[in-house]
Structure 1
Amino acid sequence: MKKIILLLVLAFSAFISQAQNATLKAGDPAPDFKLKNVDGKEISFASYPKAKGFIVVFTCNTCPYAVAYEQRIIELDKKFRSQGYPVIAINPNDPEASKADSFDKMQDLAKEKKYPFPYLYDAGQKVTDQYGAKHTPHLFIVSKSAKGNVIEYVGAIDNDPEGTKAEKTKYAEEAIAALQSNKKPAVTQTKEIGCTVKRKAKA
């Protein structure tokens, strides 16, 4: 009987944990945050008072998919920051589970690649869990509204994770183009493709 009760408790706990970490979807409020950037300064949505919205991307140093998308993320920022949609990159991996994703290593990578956007350290993975980010990269496009910051699109940057297609569907760019025309994106969710977020083993 005790074993049955224990199993039920564990199953219920797993269900609650999964529910708490459900991925946000279009129409949901976008949680604000205040996280340390690689330059030591804290960054939040309020750091961009003139922004119309944000390209929030959970990415990391180590995942091959994140590496493949690195230049495309840089290009998104270069193209859309001046149009009011800056990139904010957040590393969701726990450094104990992925040592090459430590804050020091993040600083090294950002310097080496000359990141034009902030690259934030999510201590305790709190923001990762709030957004329900599951993979790297995992993209959330956010717009400002009278009711606050709202999720408009969630998923992949495009449909070409390997970077080999001559023609590709640029989900992120299409979503922002729609928002700039005062329309809702035609596609609000796609399946993100990447490595799972790395978490340290529970004691």
Structure 2
Amino acid sequence: MKKLSLIAFMAVLSLSAFAQGYKVGDKATDFKLKNVDGKTVSLADYKSAKGFIVVFTCNHCPYAKAYESRIMELSKAYAAKEYPVIAINPNDPTAYPEDSFDNMKKRSSEKKYTFPYLLDESQAIAKAYGATKTPHVFVLQKTANGNVVEYIGAIDNDTEGVNANKVKYVEDAVNALLLNKKPETTTTKAVGCGIKWKSI
């Protein structure tokens, strides 16, 4: 019984470590993940980037679908300003086949994504970042010392897409960084579907 209790306790600690992830001010790890075009993509590939809008998202989640057009708008607005969107699907496709790599390719093609849509097959990057939802955004600023996390959370405060006076957290953060200022809001609660973790 004690052995089982210890195993359960260690599992909780492990999950807690995954959930903690990065805080604002931390340096984010780079990665090499497979894009829907079959090529691997890393942040280091973007030589001229000033930073990144890293979005953990997926195909099946209603929240991810609701925010899909807004993610596409972020890409159109900020790619030319050297803050490209990097979308990452961390979900276990065994739990949700709609999130399979083949379906990621279909979604990207049908919706004409202008940004990479990467598969975090091992889920190691989602765990490192501390992503828990889809969508969950991490705005990074490129510095001489690496990619520094400047904002974590939701895209805006309008999940339903009906609030004309919504606060555009990600846009506000990137606009501030482009002016060499720190974002006024650095963390918000990500609202979405829980990431579907692989069973251990």
Indicate the TM-score class for this superposition, using the shorter chain for normalisation. over 0.9
Partner of 2:161: 163
Once residues 18 and 156 of structure 2 are traced to their aligned partners in structure 1, the CA distance between those partners, rounded to angstroms, is 27
Matched residue type, 1:198? K
Partner of 2:5: 7
* Partner secondary structure for residue 82 of structure 1: coil
TM-score between the two structures when normalised by the length of structure 2: 0.97
Matched residue type, 1:165? N
- 1:50, 1:84 within 8 Å by CA — same for their partners in 2? yes
Query: Displacement, 1:71?
Result: 0.4
Once residues 57 and 128 of structure 1 are traced to their aligned partners in structure 2, the CA distance between those partners, rounded to angstroms, is 10
* Partner secondary structure for residue 36 of structure 1: strand
TM-score between the two structures when normalised by the length of structure 1: 0.95
The CA RMSD over aligned residues, in Å, is 1.1
Structure 2: gaps of 5 or more residues = none
Partner of 1:149: 147
Q: How does 1:23-172 map to 2 (within 5 A)?
A: 23-172=21-170
Partner of 2:15: 17
Matched residue type, 1:93? N
Once residues 198 and 49 of structure 1 are traced to their aligned partners in structure 2, the CA distance between those partners, rounded to angstroms, is 32
Once residues 162 and 22 of structure 1 are traced to their aligned partners in structure 2, the CA distance between those partners, rounded to angstroms, is 27
Once residues 111 and 148 of structure 2 are traced to their aligned partners in structure 1, the CA distance between those partners, rounded to angstroms, is 30
Query: Displacement, 1:98?
Result: 1.0
* Partner secondary structure for residue 140 of structure 1: strand
Structure 1: gaps of 5 or more residues = none
Percent identity, aligned pairs only?
56
Matched residue type, 2:41? I
Once residues 128 and 198 of structure 2 are traced to their aligned partners in structure 1, the CA distance between those partners, rounded to angstroms, is 18
Once residues 61 and 118 of structure 1 are traced to their aligned partners in structure 2, the CA distance between those partners, rounded to angstroms, is 14
Matched residue type, 1:63? C
Aligned length: 200
Once residues 161 and 20 of structure 1 are traced to their aligned partners in structure 2, the CA distance between those partners, rounded to angstroms, is 25
Partner of 2:173: 175
Matched residue type, 2:80? S
Moved over 4 A (4+): none
